[in-house]
């Protein structure tokens, strides 16, 4: 009898270990859009990059997988007598799939020393947009500088030294200090290609990150098509030029419109909106109007055609090596080494639901991870091998967190140890997800630890009671 | 404290590994050598528990608890290290209290299974410690293959925690019940 009980105890003990092994890590991580939490199915993805220059222009070529091309964005659909917006920024994927794919690249020439070691993490500050504890629009708008002077309504990317306290997004240093920092090159250049808001007109947005993320001076490749007062679009398609006044929502919903179709509204193909036309349910007008852009903000163009084919985007961008705008762009100089970091938005996601890279060194005729090849002529032949980058979902990990008491590597950061030395992209992706459920996971982990100790103790007591009987 | 922890952990690892080998030999043999080696089992396990506790305490001082509890890898190391210490202490108590009776009948195979489990726990604890100090091994890949990515915190869902609570109560009850029953 006691032998059977001994076996039973052992089976229960080992059985519990088995159940634990099979079920661990479940029951906590789940999407919670109310808390701005959405975990993508895949935590990493590949990106391939090439770079080339001819002494006048700098070229980058990017290739990455995507199940389908996200070329629609931000639409106004006529519904029951009203124009309703679809495709604005939401937590996770846009439910109707109306959100553009994007490719972004941060560039630094050494002006932001932390960037070369920690990449985009240094731009993720306190209470970022779409973090669970994001600052409210009212708070940002009430900020005298960011809200009042710079017309910001959310906390986006910013650099650490632009704040007197990195744990407080609102602690912006004086305007004089900001100007000094910028003159010293303390900003990141941001190449920002958008599959809807810039690609159809052969452009990429040109931005930079300093105390906030700004567009360069001049005119960007798009503007908003919404008349707030009348609650209607400002512009519609010019029927004389394109043969229609609006798109058909069903064509968008069923993804019938491709690269060669009209799925965007260009300024030169638009006329003022006519509310007196007989609009019908399903009529759709893009909420963004595209244009060539002007000035520094229009520095970056698409080289050739950026297209999605057979499951991959293939995008090449070109810009003057020196744009003559040293306060907004990082000039590319032959024989110099830079730091770059990439990000991709796909699957109808925006904001922080992107895949990012760790920083990569870029050398113009110099040894580096990504070596830009010098060529003669107008356009590169792209004969060099691709440089492979692993992108990862970063979760809600901010620079204040990484620099604070809750990060075991904070001392290593203070000592200047680069992130690559201690963490892989795979690891960072998993940590990023765990940070989003930090409290819940910590609770269950502690209960698991205690439960395991008690299970061992319970098994030990039972075992010794059974054996004692046997030995007596 | 990290370097001191790294120095100290060598002792329990060596002692418990030797203890596991002794259990293996003794479980498989009643020969003179096996019996002789069994005589050092309790001292080996006792020293292992003592130095294991010392390494554990020093390990807790490497980072503030708030920091360690916020890192998935550190959480995992802390969890498995705690279990290892308690588990090997259980083996010590069992061998100490039951004496050579643990090698009678089927109990010897129970001891062998328990030693095997202890060795697995010890291996995982050491692997996670290696990860934390920047020296990962292929054991992590084996664990990943078996279903656990060491960069994910090991925690149980609520329903399994409840099941665990039931098992924690049932196991001593079985022992008590068995003790009152005739052989």
Q: What does the pLDDT read at residue A1? A: 73
Taking residues A375-395, what's their average pLDDT? 96
Is position B171 within any domain? no
Per-residue pLDDT band for A471 (boundaries 50, 70, 90) equals very low
In angstroms, what separates the C-alpha of A229 from chain B's closest C-alpha?
Answer: 49
**Between B64, B159, B168, which is nearest A405 by CB?**
B64
Q: Do A462 and B174 lie within an 8 Å CB cutoff?
A: yes
Strands (E), A260-336: 265-266, 270-272, 283-286, 288-290, 301-302, 307-309, 312-320
Taking residues A38-57, what's their average pLDDT? 96
Is position B98 within any domain? yes
CB-CB neighbors (< 8 A) of B107 in chain A: 6, 467, 470
Would you call B101 exposed, middle or buried from its count of C-beta atoms within 10 A (0-12, 13-18, 19+)? middle
Smallest Cα–Cα separation from A429: which of A391, A396, A392? Answer: A392
Q: Write down the residue that tokens 């130095």 correspond to.
A: B51
Domain ranges for chain A: 2-28+440-471, 46-66+101-221+292-436
- For residue A55, what are its two tokens? 């002494």
Per-residue pLDDT band for B137 (boundaries 50, 70, 90) equals confident
**pLDDT tens by residue, B2-40:** 889 889 999 999 999 999 999 999 999 999 999 999 999
Whether pLDDT at B164 is above 70: yes
CB atoms within 10 A of CB B46: 16
CB-CB neighbors (< 8 A) of A431 in chain B: 72, 151
User: Could you give the number of structural domains in chain B?
Assistant: 1
Smallest Cα–Cα separation from A94: which of A156, A18, A38? Answer: A38
Is position B91 within any domain? yes
Q: Do B86 and A447 lie within an 8 Å CB cutoff?
A: no
**Between A8, A23, A464, which is nearest B94 by CB?**
A464
Q: Which residues pair with A371 in a beta bridge?
A: A363
Is position B180 within any domain? no
- For residue A150, what are its two tokens? 């710079």
As a whole number of angstroms, the distance between CA A430 and CA A449 comes to: 21
As a whole number of angstroms, the distance between CA A453 and CA B84 comes to: 9
Q: What does the pLDDT read at residue A470? A: 45
- The ipTM assigned to this model is 0.94
Would you call B35 exposed, middle or buried from its count of C-beta atoms within 10 A (0-12, 13-18, 19+)? middle
Q: Write down the residue that tokens 């004086």 correspond to.
A: A174
Which residue does chain A place closest to B67, by CA atoms? A406
Whether pLDDT at B51 is above 70: yes
Is position B92 within any domain? yes
Q: What does the pLDDT read at residue A150? A: 95
- Residues contacting residue A294 through CB under 8 Å, at least 6 positions apart: A218, A219
**pLDDT tens by residue, A109-123:** 999 999 999 999 999
DSSP string for residues in chain B = -HHHHHHHTHHHHHHHHHHHHHHHHHHH--SHHHHHHHTTHHHHHHHHHHHHHHHHHHHHTTS-HHHHHH-HHHHHHHHHHHHHHHHHHHHHHHHHHHGGGGGSTTHHHHHHHHHHHHHHHHHHHHHHHHHHTT---THHHHHHHHT--TTS-----HHHHHHHHHHHHHHHHHHHHHHHS--
Q: Which secondary structure element, helix H or strand E, spans residue A50, and what is its range?
A: strand A44-53
- For residue A249, what are its two tokens? 């929502």
Is position B165 within any domain? no
Q: Do B167 and A5 lie within an 8 Å CB cutoff?
A: no
As a whole number of angstroms, the distance between CA B65 and CA B74 comes to: 10
Smallest Cα–Cα separation from A301: which of A211, A206, A219, A217? Answer: A206
**pLDDT tens by residue, A419-449:** 999 899 999 999 999 999 999 999 999 999 9
Q: With beta carbons less than 8 A apart as the criterion, state whether A411 and B64 touch.
A: no
Which residue does chain B place closest to A469, by CA atoms? B179
In angstroms, what separates the C-alpha of B9 from chain A's closest C-alpha?
Answer: 20
Per-residue pLDDT band for B182 (boundaries 50, 70, 90) equals low
Q: What does the pLDDT read at residue A229? A: 96
Q: With beta carbons less than 8 A apart as the criterion, state whether A297 and A216 touch.
A: yes
Smallest Cα–Cα separation from A194: which of A429, A397, A354, A391? Answer: A354
Is position B181 within any domain? no
In this structure, the strands spanning A265-266 and A288-290 are parallel
**pLDDT tens by residue, A179-213:** 999 999 999 999 999 999 999 999 999 999 999 99
Whether pLDDT at B134 is above 90: no
Q: What does the pLDDT read at residue B183? A: 57
Q: What does the pLDDT read at residue B2? A: 82
Smallest Cα–Cα separation from A435: which of A155, A159, A115, A37? Answer: A37
Q: What does the pLDDT read at residue A276? A: 94
Mean pLDDT (chain A) is 95
Per-residue pLDDT band for A472 (boundaries 50, 70, 90) equals very low
Q: With beta carbons less than 8 A apart as the criterion, state whether B2 and B133 touch.
A: yes
* Domain housing B112: 2-154
As a whole number of angstroms, the distance between CA A338 and CA B134 comes to: 27
Q: Do A452 and B181 lie within an 8 Å CB cutoff?
A: no
Which three-class secondary structure state does DSSP give residue A177? helix
**pLDDT tens by residue, A306-333:** 999 999 999 999 999 999 999 999 999 9
**pLDDT tens by residue, A11-33:** 999 999 999 999 999 999 999 99
Q: How far is CA A157 from the centre of its chain?
A: 11
């Amino acid at each position: 009898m006691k032998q059977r009980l001994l076996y039973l105890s052992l089976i229960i003990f080992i059985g519990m270990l088995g159940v634990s092994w099979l079920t661990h890590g479940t029951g906590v991580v789940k999407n919670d859009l109310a808390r701005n939490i959405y975990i993508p199915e895949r935590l990493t993805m590949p990106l391939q990059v090439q770079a080339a220059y001819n002494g006048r222009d700098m070229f980058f070529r990017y290739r990455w997988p995507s199940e389908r091309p996200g070329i629609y964005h931000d639409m106004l659909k006529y519904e029951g007598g009203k124009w309703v917006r679809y495709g604005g920024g939401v937590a996770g994927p846009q439910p109707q799939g109306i959100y553009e794919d994007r490719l972004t690249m941060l560039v630094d020439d050494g002006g932001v020393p932390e960037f070369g070691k920690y990449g985009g993490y240094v731009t993720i500050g306190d209470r970022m947009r779409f973090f669970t504890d994001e600052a409210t629009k009212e708070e940002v708008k009430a900020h005298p500088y960011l809200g009042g002077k710079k017309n910001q309504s959310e906390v986006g990317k910013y650099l650490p030294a632009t704040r007197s306290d990195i744990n407080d997004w609102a602690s912006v240093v004086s305007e004089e200090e900001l100007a000094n920092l910028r003159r010293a090159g303390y900003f990141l250049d941001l190449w920002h290609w958008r599959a809807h808001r810039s690609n159809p007109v052969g452009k990429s947005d040109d931005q930079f990150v300093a105390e906030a993320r700004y567009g360069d001076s001049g005119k960007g490749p798009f503007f908003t098509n919404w008349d707030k007062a009348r609650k209607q679009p400002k512009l519609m398609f010019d029927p004389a030029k394109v043969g229609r006044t609006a798109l058909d929502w069903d064509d968008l919903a069923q993804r019938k419109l491709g690269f060669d179709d009209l799925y965007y509204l260009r300024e030169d193909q638009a006329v003022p909106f006519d509310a007196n036309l007989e609009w019908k349910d399903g009529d759709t007008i893009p909420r963004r109007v595209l244009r060539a852009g002007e000035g520094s903000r229009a520095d970056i163009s698409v080289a050739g055609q950026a297209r999605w084919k057979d499951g991959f985007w293939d995008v090449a961008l070109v810009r003057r090596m020196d744009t003559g705008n040293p306060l907004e762009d990082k000039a590319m100089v032959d024989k110099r080494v830079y730091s770059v970091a990439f990000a991709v938005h796909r699957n109808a996601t925006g904001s922080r639901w992107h895949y990012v890279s760790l920083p990569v060194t870029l050398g113009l005729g110099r040894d580096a991870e990504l070596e830009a090849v010098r060529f003669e002529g107008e356009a590169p032949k792209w004969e060099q091998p691709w440089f492979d980058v692993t992108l990862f979902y970063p979760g809600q990990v901010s620079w204040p967190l990484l620099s604070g008491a809750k990060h075991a590597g904070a001392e290593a950061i203070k000592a200047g140890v680069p992130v690559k030395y201690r963490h892989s992209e795979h690891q960072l992706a998993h940590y990023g997800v765990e940070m989003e459920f930090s409290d819940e996971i910590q609770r269950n982990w502690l209960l698991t630890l205690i439960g395991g100790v008690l299970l061992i103790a319970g098994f030990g007591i039972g075992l010794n009671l059974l054996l004692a009987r046997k030995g007596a | 404290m990290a370097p001191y922890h790294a120095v100290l952990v060598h002792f329990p690892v060596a002692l418990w590994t030797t203890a596991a080998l002794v259990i293996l030999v003794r479980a498989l043999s009643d020969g003179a050598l096996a019996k002789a080696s069994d005589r050092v089992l309790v001292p080996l396990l006792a020293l292992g528990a003592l130095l294991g506790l010392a390494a554990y305490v020093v390990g807790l001082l490497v980072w503030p608890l708030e920091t360690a509890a916020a890192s998935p890898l550190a959480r995992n190391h802390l969890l498995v290290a705690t279990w290892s210490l308690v588990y090997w202490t259980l083996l010590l108590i069992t061998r100490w209290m039951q004496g050579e009776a643990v090698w009678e009948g089927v109990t010897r195979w129970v001891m062998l299974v328990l030693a095997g489990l202890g060795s697995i726990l010890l291996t995982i604890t050491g692997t996670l410690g290696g990860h934390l100090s920047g020296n990962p091994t292929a054991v992590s890949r084996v664990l990943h293959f078996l279903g656990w990515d060491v960069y994910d915190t090991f925690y149980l869902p609520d329903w399994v925690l409840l099941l665990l609570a039931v098992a924690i109560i049932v196991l001593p009850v079985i022992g008590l019940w068995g003790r009152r029953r005739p052989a």
